[in-house]
Structure 1
Amino acid sequence: MTLVSNLDLQIKQLIIDSLNLEDITPDDIDSDAPLFGDGLGLDSIDALELGVAIKKAFNIALTDDSEENREHFASVNALVALIQSRTA
């Protein structure tokens, strides 16, 4: 398993665990699909909880810039790119 796919799986599991998404497996989450709205259907409260979980898991602090966060939380792939850029 490559580092990217491992991180992809890790983030999907983090989303499931931190947001208590029952009946969803990592395989159910499309890495390119939007996390909010039509995709996974998350809301702003979910974003806050997910931000805290990412900070705990990867020691990455997210800014209060909502436009930047919107980009980071666009999809699982966007979160993978963020974490790779901040931990490289």
Structure 2
Amino acid sequence: MTTSSSSPQQSPFEGELAVHLVDAVQLDMDPQEIDPTRPLFGEGLRLDFIDVLEIALMVNTQYGIKLASHDENNREIFYSLRSLAQYIEAHRPAR
């Protein structure tokens, strides 16, 4: 296995989120292989609208955050693993 040194590393929380994301949308890849800055949709991981619903359900279940389908910021929130992780960290309830 080769890894690109130019690929950004996942933070510990991004790594945790990647595990949940891979499980939620049943991706056939190692969560550690997800570049946290790569788009989740389109040319990135090629996820689709149904995957967004699965990810939103996972975020609600795992982190207690409800993501509304009509939120005008969804494109930015779901852009990449990193943007999703940053949103969750900024909005999750105190433990």
The TM-score with structure 2 as length reference comes to 0.81
AA aligned to 1:15 is L
1:55 alignment counterpart: 60
Count the aligned residue pairs.
84
Number of the residue aligned with 1:14: 20
Overall identity of the aligned pairs, in %: 35
Residue 44 of structure 1 corresponds to 49
Cα distance in 2 between the residues matched to 1:37 and 1:64 = 19
TM-score normalised to structure 1 length:
0.87
Q: What is the rounded CA distance, in whole Å, between the counterparts of 2:19 and 2:60 in structure 1?
A: 15
User: How far, CA to CA, are the matches of 2:71 and 2:44 in structure 1?
Assistant: 19
Which residue of 1 is the match for residue 4 of structure 2? none
Asked if 1:5 corresponds to 2:11, the answer is yes
1:80 to partner: Cα distance: 1.1
The runs of at least 4 aligned residues of structure 1 exceeding 4 Å deviation read: none
Q: Structure 2: how far apart are the matches of 1:48 and 1:25?
A: 21
Gaps of 5+ in 2: 1-9
- Is 1:83 equivalent to 2:58 in the alignment? no
Q: Distance in 2 between matches of 1:67 and 1:26?
A: 28
Aligned to 1:73: 78
Q: Does 1:34 align with 2:39?
A: yes
- Counting helix residues as a fraction of each chain, which structure ranks higher? 1
